[in-house]
Amino acid sequence: NAGVMQNPRHLVRRRGQEARLRCSPMKGHSHVYWYRQLPEEGLKFMVYLQKENIIDESGMPKERFSAEFPKEGPSILRIQQVVRGDSAAYFCASSPRQRNNEKLFFGSGTQLSVL
């Protein structure tokens, strides 16, 4: 049973380009969470999705950022018109059920560097 898979592992973009980060949850997990870790800062919640639904996007910046988790395929975190401040490590995690006391399984992260 493969763990949470994130790709790419490293992504380099120039300012103004789009970044697409992918997360495939563990088999049987239908809940996906995205977190961002800015340099020298702690992890921060971004968005929580179930299949085809955004449940909580209170941590997402209001502009340029979007997330989806389609019926088929991985969850995608999309950042349009990237800026240098978007450079960070982006982690996703998955869980099988919607309960606040459910153990989370994390991916290895995508390190986004904006030049």
Partner 1 sequence: KNEVEQSPQNLTAQEGEFITINCSYSVGISALHWLQQHPGGGIVSLFMLSSGKKKHGRLIATINIQEKHSSLHITASHPRDSAVYICAAWDNYNQGGKLIFGQGTELSVKP
Sites of contact with partner 1 (CB under 8 A): 31, 33, 35, 41-45, 47-48, 55-56, 58-59, 89, 91, 93, 98, 100-106, 108-109, 111
Task: Give the nearer residue to partner 1 in terms of CB position, either 65 or 91.
Answer: 91
50 vs 81, beta carbon nearer partner 1: 50
Nearer to partner 1, 8 or 16 (CB): 8
Q: Which residues pair with 101 in a beta bridge?
A: none
Min CB(65)–partner 1 separation in Å: 16
Tell the smallest beta-carbon distance from residue 91 to partner 1 (Å).
6
